[in-house]
């Protein structure tokens, strides 16, 4: 008999769902039905989904109910940002240009999810081409506020318990920011360790696929699957972590709730036994968010959009057109200087992680801003995307409007497992201001 | 009056064609007609093209004949490896899986070619997914020999004067090797300086778009266009270049014609005034071709092919299946060790270019091997692809069967312009054993 009999299945974490199905306590179909019920009840307001086919989702569930266990996500519904290709449903990139587009293949990350038994529940709303022109999605905590972007629908759907986990992509701050704004966990792996085949390129030298969920366990099980590994016991820290607190050169732009979150977390973690020390990084790191956004982001965006610009310009948003025009103004020399600067900073950062297990840094300027016309400032997240480091946001705090404010933990390149171990330690000591996601069963 | 009245337009270089059209001495349509005539006459044997629509090519030419000059390639026909997306013709990846596939957008490189006035003449034959299972293409110099691969059709079409230039992609040695085997110029730019949006990923951390042509001028004008720059006067060297000769750890695997080509070139260039010095690179460079091919190439290939492997395996060649199986055996730790090793070697190599303008290295083990079942050994080219350096082959020599053998020049990362200046200097001193490409008007 189920101890939590009153809790609908859509509110469970991915690992709980997989466990229940493996134990024969529920079925893939029952899980999908509860997700569908939540979406039917809420998505008229939340608008997290752009392609969602009840029948296709149920069909996948029924096939899995008849099959032997495929992997650690057997029967777990997952949402996909609609810039990620699926062979069996449209992939529209948040753009009229791709209206009704049906790729011939799944993206590699989707194939790996299916290999592990996941149900592709549907496609979530995205900013146009993973850029800045937002979809209609609202923040599930307050419909007047942005959920962040560009993985807007993935964050809102997970936070609203429509699906336990979703994939997003991050070129600036497109996973971490919406995760922080929506009060869930968001993770961007080390660059180039998760294959990007079949995902829309925004700026290929920094584009990274990541995932959003309501628990660290779920972030880790998805990581295992998307690396193509077999599940293993999560790594534990031998001792309390060494945490470097870097307030960044953007500290003065942070609102009080962000400053409070970082300071309170640093303080609490120090008291809990972590070796917490303030650090400052060399001058090469100053203004790195501008390099990331302009010299790299704008330049590569303009290159990626060459066809759309020349042949479909009337179907692009004014935001995208400005973005491309900005990119066209950046010279090749500026671009290459930006690439070299990032190379330099990546080498410098390697030394920092000889001394620290993880960095604690601000994630967002503050709570999700009011209004749906923009998705907030990516600067604080974009630094780490450009540096190729693994990074994670934990939904530890709330702001003056009772909206979520996450902290950000940054790990060493390729050492994502140490980042996870630190994140678990931190989460045990701080925990959530309340349940992760929106108030459930609302 | 045309001084070379007997020479069909398809035998001219891209820059010559653009110049004649700009001067009103010929039309885009006349150029395309001569290319079509050559293809009609020869492609039954050469089999360089997989998608070639006379009418679509002529239609583009007529539009350009009515239009103002678009750019430096106005009216110049270009071939595209069939792993590069085109919105107006199929893109089939050399695979049954993509039979008849019509992408919604051009690849960015294609959009830039069109922006500059190029005519997309058609799609050239490629190994399956830019891998190792060859197409039917023969070497235009000798039909019993491979043209190399995976950009087989691009090399054969250019060498056979069906088109003045073509795009290819290189993950191991897929541009340099067929260029060397077919006796033309092949160039792979610095990694990540030419946008790869819309090209099939083989191993995204090293995949690079490059081009093949019958002159250095043409290589340079395509470079300008594909960087999105306006044409400028080619950079000249202030003095004779400093050339480092590295025979690599593969020297013992080279056939006499390759050793002779490198030694003869080094000797001749030294006599011509270059500061030529033998060099050796640190131990970290030993066996780098294996890291490139296995730890990086196989691993990323297996990741890219996850969907095809799970859902379309019966449509994959045995070669591709072995390739993927090899990749699946490589652990994440081996992969990351490979990425770190390449990072280390890239940093070491930067110092080498403080002392040398360019490296002279072997390009291929020897002449194109007999038989069409395999495309030759990519090891000598793959080192440089993995190191992200710009690299170029020059059709300077011939082997015992009178088949071409190119030398390879390698530049510093991001300093492709210096590589070009050196290549011009070298070409002036050495030149071709005869006309570049096959004997013309044959």
pLDDT tens-digit readout, B178-235 = 999 999 999 999 999 999 999 999 999 999 999 999 999 999 999 999 999 887 787 8
Strand A358-362 to strand A242-245: parallel, antiparallel, or no bridges (unpaired)?
Answer: parallel
% of chain A with per-residue pLDDT over 90: 94
Per the CB < 8 A criterion, the answer to whether B106 and A307 are in contact is: yes
Which residue in B371, B394, B167, B114 sits closest to A309, CA to CA? B114
Q: What are B254's two structure tokens?
A: 């080279």
The answer to whether residue A81 is catalytic is yes
The mean pLDDT of A133-150, rounded to a whole number, is 98
Domain range B9-227, CATH architecture: Alpha-Beta Complex (3.90)
Closest chain B C-alpha to A161 CA, distance in angstroms = 28
Mean pLDDT (chain B) is 96
Nearest to A310 among B115, B310, B311 (CB): B115
Q: Which of A71, A307, A386, A416 to mutate to test the interface with B (most CBs of B within 10 A)?
A: A307
- B363-401 residue pLDDT tens: 999 999 999 999 999 999 999 999 999 999 999 999 999
> What is the reported pLDDT for B2?
47
Q: Distances in Å between the alpha carbon of B392 and those of A439, B141, B185, B287, B411?
A: 61, 21, 7, 21, 9
> What is the reported pLDDT for A434?
65
> What is the reported pLDDT for A233?
81
Per the CB < 8 A criterion, the answer to whether B332 and B296 are in contact is: no
For residue A204, which residues of chain B lie inside 8 Å, CB to CB? 192, 195-197, 204
- A102-121 residue pLDDT tens: 999 999 999 999 999 999 99
β-pair partners for A51 = A123
Compute the distance between CA of residue A333 and CA of residue A277 in angstroms, rounded to an integer. 38
Q: How far apart are the first and last CA of chain B?
A: 25
Per the CB < 8 A criterion, the answer to whether B353 and B415 are in contact is: yes
For residue B347, which residues of chain A lie inside 8 Å, CB to CB? 347
Compute the distance between CA of residue A427 and CA of residue A415 in angstroms, rounded to an integer. 19
B436 pLDDT tier (thresholds 50, 70, 90): confident
Burial of A140 (0-12, 13-18, 19+ CB in 10 A): buried
Closest chain A C-alpha to B108 CA, distance in angstroms = 5
User: Tokens 């020599």 label which residue?
Assistant: B397
> Inter-chain contact B106–A193, Cβ cutoff 8 Å?
no
Search chain B and give the residue with CA nearest A301: B195
pLDDT reading at B4 higher than 70: no
Mean pLDDT check: name the lowest of A229-233, A308-312, B153-157, B392-396: A229-233
Q: Distances in Å between the alpha carbon of A144 and those of A185, A349, A371, B388?
A: 22, 39, 6, 47
Q: What are B87's two structure tokens?
A: 């919105």
For residue B227, which residues of chain A lie inside 8 Å, CB to CB? 332
Search chain A and give the residue with CA nearest B331: A229
> Inter-chain contact B105–A307, Cβ cutoff 8 Å?
yes
> Inter-chain contact A197–B303, Cβ cutoff 8 Å?
yes
Nearest to B111 among A104, A205, A307 (CB): A307
Nearest to B306 among A101, A112, A340 (CB): A112
Compute the distance between CA of residue B115 and CA of residue B103 in angstroms, rounded to an integer. 19
> What is the reported pLDDT for A433?
74
CA atoms within 13 A on the CB side of A312: 18
Search chain B and give the residue with CA nearest A227: B332
Mean pLDDT (chain A) is 96
Compute the distance between CA of residue B258 and CA of residue B247 in angstroms, rounded to an integer. 10
pLDDT reading at A186 higher than 50: yes
pLDDT reading at B128 higher than 80: yes
- A259-270 residue pLDDT tens: 999 999 999 999
> Inter-chain contact B306–A339, Cβ cutoff 8 Å?
no
The answer to whether residue A174 is catalytic is yes
The domain limits of chain A are 9-227
pLDDT reading at B1 higher than 50: no
For residue A340, which residues of chain B lie inside 8 Å, CB to CB? 414
Compute the distance between CA of residue B2 and CA of residue B19 in angstroms, rounded to an integer. 12
φ/ψ of A391, rounded to 5, equals -150, 150
- The residues on B that touch A, with CB distances below 8 Å, are 87, 97-98, 101, 104-108, 110-112, 114-115, 192-193, 195-198, 201, 204-205, 227-229, 300, 302-311, 328, 332, 336, 339-340, 347, 414
% of chain B with per-residue pLDDT over 70: 98
Which residue in B190, B194, B169, B188 sits closest to B415, CA to CA? B190
Compute the distance between CA of residue B397 and CA of residue A5 in angstroms, rounded to an integer. 79
Kindly compute the dihedral angle of the four CA atoms of residues A234, A235, A240, A241, in this order, to the nearest 10 degrees.
-110
Search chain B and give the residue with CA nearest A205: B192
φ/ψ of B262, rounded to 5, equals -65, -45
> What is the reported pLDDT for A70?
96
DSSP string covering A74-126: TT-EEEEETTB--SSS---TTSGGGTT---SS--HHHHHHHHTT-EEEEEE--
Search chain B and give the residue with CA nearest A106: B307
pLDDT reading at A100 higher than 90: yes
> What is the reported pLDDT for B432?
75
Strand A119-124 to strand B242-245: parallel, antiparallel, or no bridges (unpaired)?
Answer: unpaired
Task: Starting at the earlier edge strand, list the strands of the sheet with B165-170.
Answer: B49-51, B119-124, B77-81, B165-170, B208-213, B185-188, B391-398, B404-410, B358-362, B242-245, B275-278
- B312-340 residue pLDDT tens: 999 999 999 999 999 999 999 999 999 99
Compute the distance between CA of residue B32 and CA of residue B119 in angstroms, rounded to an integer. 8
For residue B414, which residues of chain A lie inside 8 Å, CB to CB? 336, 339-340
Contacts of B319 (CB under 8 A, 6+ apart): B128, B131, B132, B133
Q: How far apart are the first and last CA of chain A?
A: 25
Per the CB < 8 A criterion, the answer to whether B144 and B180 are in contact is: no
> Inter-chain contact A228–B303, Cβ cutoff 8 Å?
yes
Q: What are A107's two structure tokens?
A: 């993206």
Task: Starting at the earlier edge strand, list the strands of the sheet with A165-170.
Answer: A49-51, A119-124, A77-81, A165-170, A208-213, A185-188, A391-398, A404-410, A358-362, A242-245, A275-278
Please report the number of interchain residue pairs, chain A to chain B, with beta-carbon separation below 8 angstroms: 114
Which residue in A435, A442, A440, A441 sits closest to A184, CA to CA? A435
* Structure letter (DSSP) for residue B438: S
Q: Which of A60, A91, A93, A104 to mutate to test the interface with B (most CBs of B within 10 A)?
A: A104
A2 pLDDT tier (thresholds 50, 70, 90): very low
The mean pLDDT of B340-349, rounded to a whole number, is 96
The mean pLDDT of B390-415, rounded to a whole number, is 97
User: Buried (b) or exposed (e) across A365-392, using 16+ Cβ within 10 A?
Assistant: bbbbbeebeebbbbbbbbbbbbbbbbbb
Compute the distance between CA of residue A341 and CA of residue A352 in angstroms, rounded to an integer. 17
Per the CB < 8 A criterion, the answer to whether A342 and A386 are in contact is: yes
> Inter-chain contact A196–B201, Cβ cutoff 8 Å?
yes
The mean pLDDT of B358-365, rounded to a whole number, is 98
> What is the reported pLDDT for A435?
62
% of chain A with per-residue pLDDT over 70: 98
pLDDT reading at A437 higher than 80: no
Compute the distance between CA of residue B46 and CA of residue B124 in angstroms, rounded to an integer. 11
Active site residues of B: 81, 150, 174
Per the CB < 8 A criterion, the answer to whether B209 and B189 are in contact is: yes
Nearest to B307 among A97, A111, A205 (CB): A111
> Inter-chain contact B414–A339, Cβ cutoff 8 Å?
yes
- B108-125 residue pLDDT tens: 999 999 999 999 999 999
> What is the reported pLDDT for B441?
46
> What is the reported pLDDT for A95?
98
Compute the distance between CA of residue A57 and CA of residue A17 in angstroms, rounded to an integer. 16
> Inter-chain contact B311–A111, Cβ cutoff 8 Å?
yes
Compute the distance between CA of residue B272 and CA of residue B285 in angstroms, rounded to an integer. 30
Q: Distances in Å between the alpha carbon of A203 and those of A25, B193, B245?
A: 44, 12, 36
Mapped onto helix, strand or coil, the DSSP state of residue B402 is coil
- The residues on A that touch B, with CB distances below 8 Å, are 87, 97-98, 101, 104-108, 110-112, 114-115, 192-193, 195-198, 201, 204-205, 227-229, 300, 302-311, 328, 332, 336, 339-340, 347, 414
- B56-105 residue pLDDT tens: 999 999 999 999 999 999 999 999 999 999 999 999 999 999 999 999 99
> Inter-chain contact B307–A227, Cβ cutoff 8 Å?
no
Q: Which of B106, B223, B307, B388 to mutate to test the interface with A (most CBs of A within 10 A)?
A: B307
A432 pLDDT tier (thresholds 50, 70, 90): confident
Per the CB < 8 A criterion, the answer to whether B387 and B342 are in contact is: yes
β-pair partners for A407 = A362, A394
> What is the reported pLDDT for B427?
97
């Amino acid at each position: 008999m189920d101890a939590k009999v009153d809790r609908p299945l859509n509110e469970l974490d991915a690992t709980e769902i997989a466990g229940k199905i493996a134990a024969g306590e529920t079925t893939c179909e029952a899980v999908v039905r509860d997700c569908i019920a939540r979406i039917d009840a809420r998505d008229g307001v939340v608008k997290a989904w752009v392609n969602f086919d009840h029948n296709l989702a149920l069909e996948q569930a029924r096939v899995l109910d008849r099959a032997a266990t495929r992997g650690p996500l057997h029967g777990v519904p997952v949402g996909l940002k609609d810039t990620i290709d699926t062979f069996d449903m449209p992939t529209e990139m948040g753009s009229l240009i791709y209206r009704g587009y049906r790729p011939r293949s799944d993206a590699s990350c989707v194939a790996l999810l299916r290999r592990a038994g996941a149900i592709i529940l549907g496609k979530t709303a995205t900013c146009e081409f993973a850029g800045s022109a937002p979809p209609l999605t609202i923040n599930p905590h307050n419909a007047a506020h942005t959920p962040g972007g560009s993985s807007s629908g993935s964050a809102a759907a997970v936070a609203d318990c429509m699906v336990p986990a979703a994939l997003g992509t991050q070129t600036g701050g497109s996973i971490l920011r919406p995760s922080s704004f929506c009060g869930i966990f968001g993770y961007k792996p080390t660059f180039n360790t998760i294959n990007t085949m079949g995902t829309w390129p925004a700026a290929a030298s920094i584009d990274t696929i990541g995932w959003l969920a309501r628990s660290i366990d779920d972030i880790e099980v998805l990581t295992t699957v998307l690396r193509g590994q077999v599940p293993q016991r999560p790594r534990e820290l031998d001792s309390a972590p060494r945490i470097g607190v870097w307030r960044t050169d953007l500290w003065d732009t942070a609102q009080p709730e962000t400053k409070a979150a970082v300071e309170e977390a640093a303080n609490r973690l120090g008291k809990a036994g972590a070796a917490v020390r303030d650090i400052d990084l060399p001058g090469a790191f100053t203004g790195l968010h501008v390099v990331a956004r302009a010299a790299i982001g704008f330049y590569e965006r303009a290159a990626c959009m060459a066809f759309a610009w020349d042949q479909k310009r009337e179907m692009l948003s004014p935001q995208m057109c400005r973005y491309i025009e900005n990119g066209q103004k950046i010279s090749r020399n500026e671009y290459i200087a930006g690439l070299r600067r990032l190379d330099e900073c990546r080498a410098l950062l390697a030394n920092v992680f000889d001394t620290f297990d993880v960095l604690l840094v601000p994630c967002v300027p503050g709570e999700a801003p009011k209004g749906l016309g923009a998705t907030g400032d990516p600067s604080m997240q974009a630094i780490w995307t450009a540096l190729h480091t693994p990074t994670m946001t934990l939904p530890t705090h709330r702001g003056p409007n009772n909206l979520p404010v996450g902290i950000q933990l940054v790990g060493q390149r390729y050492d994502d497992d140490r980042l996870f171990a630190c994140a678990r330690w931190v989460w045990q000591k701080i925990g959530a201001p309340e349940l992760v996601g929106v108030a459930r069963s609302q």
